[in-house]
């Protein structure tokens, strides 16, 4: 075991009095409005969770972390913690200038002295840190499609913690946890990192891990940002609270970690270990495919199942925390208990039961039984509340295609068919209607089109979240914007992209609104298909041809697709 050090860890906050003064001074500075991910990073920078970092990485540290997993001075640090900003903001700054870092409501959380400004090689970062430069990896997608073009680096001065209104009593800084362990006399602490609800197998394996290490247990779930599509943290925390009661008294505690995960597998495991060391833990459970991002575009896992454990083991002494192997626990029906798979000697004589994550999601989505041997009734009840069967969830149908392709007509027919079925409110966000009401000031530049689509996406995501059906029918010519909208909506429900694949020639031949003629004559500029691009969707959920096909039939194809996905039930 590596020695436990519960002495207070350095934080980046100034004293209360200095913070009050600095806050007033900072109001005069240039401001950067932090993104949700940057707020998570800043919180852990300021409270020592990312110790020994003293701010957002400088260019030298960044290059060294990307290439060698180490800061420029050789200290192990696997993850680039960078402040990405727009070119315009970066250009407005001088090196050496202080900037205010504000949360999304404008509250100043800290300041940063800008010592470095550079344009990173994002493709290189993707390859080295995440192992592949492809958008199927959520962090690579973030890097290329969400993060600003320029990185700023420099030391941070902390003024105040980000404000959290939820589960306040369950959130602890590294120093608060260290103090708690000192107070309780917990000399050995096994940390369990998770972004998923806990079921009986997890309870069993974490309890065993703690027992084997003769240690106490810290359930340390991530509530910052996890993989898109995960169960929201409110639901998860209610589930964890129910599971906490199942451990023997005084052996286990739970604290919430406001980390923004990157799903970087092996590097992420090492990072998680360092963060837990900072929180006063001595042991850390690393599982199969730890922090794995799912499949790449070829349908394969990004990392090998034990890559994370291997990289962790290689650096264990330097991290200073002992790795505990995550045992694959399965339920043995005859003995009515969970056992580690590799310790079952009589495998051929007993019935081994297991439910995968995918199978669990299917059962929840379809409202099927979830057996008591698998999970705790309180957990299942919570999950059912947030994940009603698909046929009761909200969803979005997003039509895309050229002007005059028939999007609006099919969308209208679909709306009427869904209203006839009843059950959920249906809202049509047609291109023209939106441009009249929501986006009347916008034109057709790339910037304006993106803004228009993002507005539609935002409204559709709210509708989906609240259990309604949103039907969108804009041109939406840019694949990256459509993808961003998909991601926003998929947090709350299904997103069905329907490409109305009428050819440009046919749209022009129909020329319902006479716009193509004007576009050809140059009287309308930036006209999609004529003088402006259209990215044909590569893998839409559905592609409908409209030439020689009735509108009713096109709408019916969408209905059939919705049925096959379980989003509407057959009549």
Q: Which residues bind ligand PPS (CB under 6 A)?
A: 403-404, 408, 431-432, 435, 444, 449, 452-453, 474-477, 513, 515, 524, 526-528, 532
* Integer Cα distance of 86 and 117 in angstroms: 11
Nearer Cβ to ligand PPS (365/476): 476
* Integer Cα distance of 202 and 195 in angstroms: 12
Angle (CA) 97 99 102, round 5°: 175
User: What is the closest distance, in whole angstroms, from the C-beta atom of residue 462 to ligand PPS in the complex?
Assistant: 19
* Integer Cα distance of 307 and 116 in angstroms: 33
Q: With the CA atoms of 393, 258, 53 and 290 taken in that order, what torsion angle do they form, in degrees rounded to the nearest 10?
A: -60
* Integer Cα distance of 560 and 548 in angstroms: 19
Tokens standing for residue 286: 């690393």
Cα 509 from chain centre:
44
Look-up of token digits 């810290």:
218
Tokens standing for residue 81: 């913690």
Q: Nearest residue by C-beta to ligand PPS?
A: 431
User: What is the closest distance, in whole angstroms, from the C-beta atom of residue 261 to ligand PPS in the complex?
Assistant: 32
Nearer Cβ to ligand PPS (98/450): 450
DSSP H or E segment with residue 59: helix 59-68
User: What is the closest distance, in whole angstroms, from the C-beta atom of residue 246 to ligand PPS in the complex?
Assistant: 51
* Integer Cα distance of 85 and 89 in angstroms: 7
* Integer Cα distance of 467 and 388 in angstroms: 10
* Integer Cα distance of 536 and 539 in angstroms: 9
Nearer Cβ to ligand PPS (106/514): 514
* 387 in catalytic set: no
For 480, the 3-state DSSP assignment is helix
User: What is the closest distance, in whole angstroms, from the C-beta atom of residue 518 to ligand PPS in the complex?
Assistant: 9
Look-up of token digits 């034990």:
306
Q: CB under 8 Å to 450, separation ≥6 — which residues?
A: 478, 481
Q: CB under 8 Å to 50, separation ≥6 — which residues?
A: 41, 44, 81, 275, 278
SS (H, E, C) 308-366: HHHHHHHHHHHHCCEEEECCCEEEECCCCEEEEHHHCCCHHHCCEECCCHHHHHHHHHH
Nearer Cβ to ligand PPS (374/444): 444
For 204, list phi and psi in degrees, rounded to 5: -65, -45
* 194 in catalytic set: yes
Residue 294's CB is within 10 A of a number of other CB atoms, namely 13
User: What is the closest distance, in whole angstroms, from the C-beta atom of residue 526 to ligand PPS in the complex?
Assistant: 5
- Are 88 and 317 in contact by the 8 Å Cβ rule? The answer is no
DSSP H or E segment with residue 99: strand 98-102
Strand pairing category for 283-286 and 189-194? parallel
Nearer Cβ to ligand PPS (140/530): 530
* 226 in catalytic set: no
Nearer Cβ to ligand PPS (278/452): 452
What is the number of H-type helices and E-type strands within the chain? 20, 20
User: What is the closest distance, in whole angstroms, from the C-beta atom of residue 527 to ligand PPS in the complex?
Assistant: 4
Nearer Cβ to ligand PPS (197/477): 477
Nearer Cβ to ligand PPS (93/524): 524
User: What is the closest distance, in whole angstroms, from the C-beta atom of residue 447 to ligand PPS in the complex?
Assistant: 11
Q: Which one of 68, 113, 115, 196 is the catalytic residue?
A: 196
Nearer Cβ to ligand PPS (241/526): 526
- Are 292 and 301 in contact by the 8 Å Cβ rule? The answer is yes
Dihedral sign for Cα atoms in the order 160, 162, 165, 169: negative
Binding-site residues: 401-408
User: What is the closest distance, in whole angstroms, from the C-beta atom of residue 525 to ligand PPS in the complex?
Assistant: 6
User: What is the closest distance, in whole angstroms, from the C-beta atom of residue 404 to ligand PPS in the complex?
Assistant: 5
Q: Which one of 194, 206, 258, 282 is the catalytic residue?
A: 194
Total residues found in the chain within this entry: 571
* Integer Cα distance of 319 and 274 in angstroms: 6
Tokens standing for residue 440: 């009347």
- Are 526 and 444 in contact by the 8 Å Cβ rule? The answer is yes
Q: Which one of 37, 117, 178, 195 is the catalytic residue?
A: 195
Q: Name the residues annotated as catalytic.
A: 194-196
């Amino acid at each position: 075991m590596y020695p436990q050090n519960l002495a207070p860890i350095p934080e980046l906050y100034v004293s209360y009095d200095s913070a009050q003064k600095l806050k007033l001074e900072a109001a005069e500075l240039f401001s950067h409005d932090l993104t949700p991910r940057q707020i998570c990073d800043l919180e852990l920078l300021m409270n020592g969770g990312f110790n020994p970092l003293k701010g957002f990485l400088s260019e030298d540290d960044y290059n060294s972390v990307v290439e060698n997993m180490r800061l420029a001075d050789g200290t192990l640090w696997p993850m680039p913690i960078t402040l990405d900003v727009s070119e315009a903001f970066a250009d407005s700054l001088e090196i050496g200038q202080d900037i205010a870092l504000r949360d999304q409501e404008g509250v100043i959380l800290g300041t940063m002295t800008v010592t470095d400004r550079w344009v990173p090689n994002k493709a290189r970062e993707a390859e080295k840190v995440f192992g592949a430069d492809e958008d199927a990896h959520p962090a690579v997608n973030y890097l290329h499609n969400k993060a600003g073009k320029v990185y700023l680096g420099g030391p941070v001065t902390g003024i105040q913690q980000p404000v959290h209104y939820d589960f306040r009593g369950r959130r602890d800084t590294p120093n608060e946890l260290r103090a708690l362990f000192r107070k309780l006399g917990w000399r050995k602490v096994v940390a369990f990192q998770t972004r998923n609800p806990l079921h009986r197998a997890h309870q069993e394996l974490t309890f065993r891990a703690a027992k084997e290490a003769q240690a106490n247990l810290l359930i340390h779930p991530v509530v910052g940002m996890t993989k898109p599509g995960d169960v929201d943290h409110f639901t998860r925390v209610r589930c964890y609270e129910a599971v906490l009661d199942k451990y023997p008294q005084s052996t286990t505690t739970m604290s919430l970690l406001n980390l923004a995960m990157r799903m970087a597998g092996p590097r992420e495991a090492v990072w998680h270990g360092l963060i837990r060391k900072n929180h006063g833990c001595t042991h850390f459970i690393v599982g199969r495919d730890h922090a794995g991002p799912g499949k790449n575009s070829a349908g394969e896992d990004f990392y090998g199942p034990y890559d994370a454990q291997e990289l962790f083991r290689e650096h264990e002494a330097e991290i200073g925390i002992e790795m505990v192997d995550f045992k694959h626990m399965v339920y043995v029906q005859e003995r009515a208990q969970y056992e580690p798979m590799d310790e079952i000697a009589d495998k051929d004589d007993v019935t081994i039961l297991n439910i995968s994550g995918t199978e669990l999601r299917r059962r929840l989505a379809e409202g099927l039984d979830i057996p008591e041997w698998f999970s705790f009734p309180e957990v299942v009840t919570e999950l059912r509340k947030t994940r009603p069967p698909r046929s009761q969830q909200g969803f979005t149908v997003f039509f895309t295609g050229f002007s005059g392709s028939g999007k609006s007509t099919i969308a209208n027919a679909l709306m009427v068919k869904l209203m006839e079925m009843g059950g959920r409110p249906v809202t049509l966000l047609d291109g023209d209607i939106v441009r009249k009401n929501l986006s009347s000031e916008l034109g057709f530049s790339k910037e304006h089109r993106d803004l228009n689509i993002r507005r539609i996406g935002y409204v559709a995501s709210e509708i989906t979240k609240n259990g309604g059906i949103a039907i969108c029918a804009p041109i939406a010519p840019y694949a990256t914007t459509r993808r961003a909208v998909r991601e926003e909506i998929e947090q709350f429900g299904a997103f069905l992209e329907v490409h109305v694949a009428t050819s440009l020639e046919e749209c022009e031949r129909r020329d319902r609104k006479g716009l193509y003629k004007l576009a050809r004559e140059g009287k309308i500029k930036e006209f999609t298909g004529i003088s402006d691009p259209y990215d044909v969707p590569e893998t839409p959920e559905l592609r409908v041809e409209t030439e020689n096909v009735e509108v009713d039939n096109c709408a019916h194809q969408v209905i059939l697709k919705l049925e096959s996905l379980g989003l509407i039930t057959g009549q």
